[in-house]
Structure 1
Amino acid sequence: MKYTSLFLDRDGVINRHRPADYVKTIEEFEFLPGSLEALRLLSPLFKHIFIVTNQRGVGKGVMTVRTLEQIHAYMLDEIIRHQGRIDHIYVCTDIETESFNRKPQPGMARQALQDYPDISFPRSMMVGDSVSDLLFARNTGMRAVFIDAGIEKKEIKPSLYDARFPDLYTFAEKYIKDPDV
């Protein structure tokens, strides 16, 4: 099957996840090895590439929306500089776990569909490193790709994902060879 839209989590997929903390400044935003190259490789293969990210730190007042926008501007500039692309970033700053817009709920996917009506969720992939990312894929009918980054996550059962890779770059390499990874 040809997948036309790629949904990506941010922390733990594109940049280093900060356990029990948030990326609060540009200085704390650290691209994972190979993620910029992966985005360059993936960019011509998908019609749409989105980031869908829960950013509870804004809702908690740990950082401001403006700071988050500055971090994202820096991230996008670097991705473009490395010949990759992100078409849109969808963010949920809600602190309530039950929020419709907070992963694993489908709110950010629905926002993307409003902005890009040609999206087909069965022809979309979600790449993430957490249970909420994988459930987001399941809740929207997308293919679920788990980035495990070598971290043993016992709560992530194989039934939650369709494919598993150690990082975004390895996923990109395999996807180029076989889009049905």
Structure 2
Amino acid sequence: MSVNSAEPARPVDVVLVKGGRMKIRYAAGLLADDGTRITVRAPWAGDGVRDFGFVRFEAGDVFTEYYWRDRWYAVKEVRDASGALKGWYCDVTRPAVLSGGELVVEDLDLDLWRSADGTDVRRLDEDEFEESGLAGRDPAATAAALAALDELEALATVGGGLESLLA
């Protein structure tokens, strides 16, 4: 099934784990799974409005989320209720696991935002990542996470870079 398919999306629950605990669980529709990349679509799952200063997530926003089984990140295309692109929110994560009706992803605290027009690219939550203690517990995961953030930033600063991941 492809993202542009007329077939109805199969329901799945996206489960974000952080620090060994479930951070959030929300319903999504599975749009595509090619064995490596998993694509789901879901409405904004947060309570109320989340205003970061540089973007607001709110009721009516739709997230098309791309997860990989072999990469240490997820890319979320964010659109408002009218369909206008707000930008891309990228999470540094361990590779995703889809089992039955659950897509489980471990959030590693590092994030990246890129605005729709590409003029605002920012690394987020590096302080949280530092405070997580991952470097002491799992140096290999720390290296993979930092490399993933660098890769995302490089893609986000080149025209069409992030979009090339999602085609």
TM-score by length of 1: 0.28
**Could you say which structure has the greater relative contact order, defined with CA pairs below 8 angstroms and 6 or more residues apart?**
1
Identify the structure with the greater strand proportion.
2
TM-score by length of 2: 0.30
